[in-house]
A and B are shown apart, each in its own frame.
Chain A
């Protein structure tokens, strides 16, 4: 079985969500087939500047083909096109230009995908919002297995994506909430799909004491792992945490792991450790009381899964449907909507270690049942097997003609997304049985 993994960036040192997801999937599927990665030369997701040389190389035993990006992202142009597509009535052509403006725009990669359509059994396309996935799905719809990594954000409401969701061969969702969103926006229930998500490389043992000594973490602490950014809810987290510790007087620290885009308030209880390697990261999580995830936009949150794998409870933002759904399905975390709930939940978790431990154990059980690597690999392999056996039952809808593409009949994307159903999705009975069997 020959599988092409198509992703916008690829490298052993890239830790972005979809990119890491793609790398893990490539490395784990390599044990079951001939896996090759098709990607760009870009390393920076803002500019898409060509930083790696074009051509073929081996990354962690996986063959990687890199293709140059034709132009870097013009942020002003992208912002203007986003404003048109998100907030105004616009045309399909506007959306296609938006895709190109967003990047990475690589005609060489698209040309390679045309060849790959005949060369590979399946093209696993990551992140629907990027040009290569959209075009790759249209080039080889019968071999396209899409990993949308879609979130409740404006681009999901664009008119060019629903035909792709309805036309690809299969979709591997990250969560039940993502599946519900895509079903609602495109009515693609007929497309074979599975809620898979992603596992993580969890070490067998973590050395919490080592982390405490190495980083001087002498007090009980919450840990946040990820980019420290307003979009990730960190500004709200700082405000809620400072208010909580100032009010309660509890000896509790907030430890931040990750690169800071947002200025971190100077507070004696907030510690920033910067970017850590995986071993340190897991050790710190292992030493924490719980992991806090304030982001309102997450399609999966690998960090939350890693915390559960280490038997740590998660305190998540109640504004993120996916995280709330994960907490409810796993019984491994609690969620807050405001500063009052943040404090009350922290009080409860910190004063009731039995409950915290039980949440952590439930989280670990949930991780093992749904996100351990044998389960993830099994879901991919069974999907490939099913697709090999079944002939394609649906076709990709063609793009509108030249005039139709320029007709301003597409509604503002934000309005479309605002009309989509919200809230955590329940795990279907069949999936629950499957998880229990696993």
Chain B
């Protein structure tokens, strides 16, 4: 009955007029329990997944063409190479025909392949005339000797036949050579096409690697600048004086903050590769100050400076730990220290927090991340929830295309 009501768009009776925890409680806003919707959980589309995988492969290789596509491309290039203005227009077609078709012997010209025997001079379809010629043959021999003439013509027929045979053989060989030439030409052009595609892919890869190198260099320079600028400011703090202990962490204190962070992360298995990014308004409470350690542990291990860091950066979010190097935010890391270095090394009030904290051990972001304009700004609070999701509803792997199978 309840289902029927649902079908008619009516609320079940037992929900009507409820005003209690049943309607205002947590269940009201949350999705129904997972076990009530098993089909949604198992919804996968193999075709979609295959499309994604193939798309990822093509992104990884830059250009991913099938053999047939390469051959089509090669055919177009072959047309371009054999420019009709410089090459006989029918040559390509002739080559193609000779390559594709079986070799057929040329029909013999009957006028060239005649035979000439001793009796040929006297042959006639008329019997009487033939008889008379044979009868008068001795008389003819009195006037001249026809034998050399007969021999010469007979030899000429043999020469004709030999020439015909040689011509046919030459033509057959020429056809075979044509087929071979066409095949070689076609293969060469196909290979050139393939090679040029590979070269194109490699040049893209070189470009990508060059951009990575460039990025790393800029990043190293930024870190060095930060270190150089922070040392003079931190030296006075080095003595364990009360003002230094009381002072909150400044922007220029990033290296010392990083040191504190490292100290705090010693208990963590992956603390050395962590990059932390400031997230506004995500944490209502203090949260975990240092990855891999409880707040108390982190404070204990990092010491008073770390305490200052914890106090001043309550919004540090470890969520980016899920994204190893090469993730969005890389350029912000690059730009962060440079912009911070312009500011005076004065202690910053707790409410004015640094835009970024820099971890010298953070992995290198990918080139895509560097060039992506969206990564230059601080991501919104809900950015982490905007990871692309696959058909299963689970977040897709955020690894770069090169990860895992990169060559």
Contact = CB atoms under 8 A, between A and B. Distances in A.
A and B: interacting chains: yes
A389 interface: no
A406 interface: no
Interface residues of A, number: 27
A332 B392 CA distance: 12
A347 B44 contact: no
Contacts of A340: 57, 61, 64
Nearest to B48: A331
Contacts of A122: none
Interface in A87-126: none
Contact of B53 (A328, A331, A341, A361): A341
Contacts of B343: none
Given A328-B46, A334-B50, A362-B42, A355 B392 contact: yes
Contacts of A347: 404-405
A5 B391 CA distance: 44
A348 B56 CA distance: 10
A331 B45 contact: yes
A302 interface: no
Given A248-B405, A347-B405, A365-B42, A354 B47 contact: no
Given A331-B45, A347-B404, A365-B42, A355 B50 contact: no
Contacts of B44: 331, 355, 358-359, 362
B57 to A, nearest CB: 5
A351 B50 CA distance: 15
A376 to B, nearest CB: 23
Given A248-B405, A341-B54, A344-B405, A355 B390 contact: yes
B394 A352 contact: yes
B390 A352 contact: yes
A126 to B, nearest CB: 31
Contacts of B41: 358, 361
Q: In this complex, which of A345, A348, A359 has the most chain B Cβ atoms within 10 angstroms of its Cβ?
A: A348
A335 interface: yes
A334 B61 CA distance: 21
Give the dominant DSSP class at A's interface.
helix
Give the dominant DSSP class at B's interface.
loop
A57 to B, nearest CB: 45
B218 to A, nearest CB: 30
Nearest to A354: B394
A343 interface: yes
B49 interface: yes
A355 B45 CA distance: 10
A328 B390 contact: no
Contacts of B57: 340-341, 344
Q: In this complex, which of B47, B53, B391, B393 has the most chain A Cβ atoms within 10 angstroms of its Cβ?
A: B53
Nearest to B38: A361
Interface in B283-325: none
Given A247-B405, A343-B405, 14 more contacts: A327-B46, A328-B46, A331-B44, A331-B46, A344-B54, A344-B60, A347-B405, A351-B397, A351-B404, A352-B397, A355-B392, A358-B44, A359-B44, A361-B41
Interface of B: 41-47, 49-50, 53-54, 56-57, 60-61, 64, 390-394, 396-397, 399, 404-405, 407
Interface of A: 244, 247-248, 250, 327-328, 331-335, 340-341, 343-345, 347-348, 351-352, 354-355, 358-359, 361-362, 365
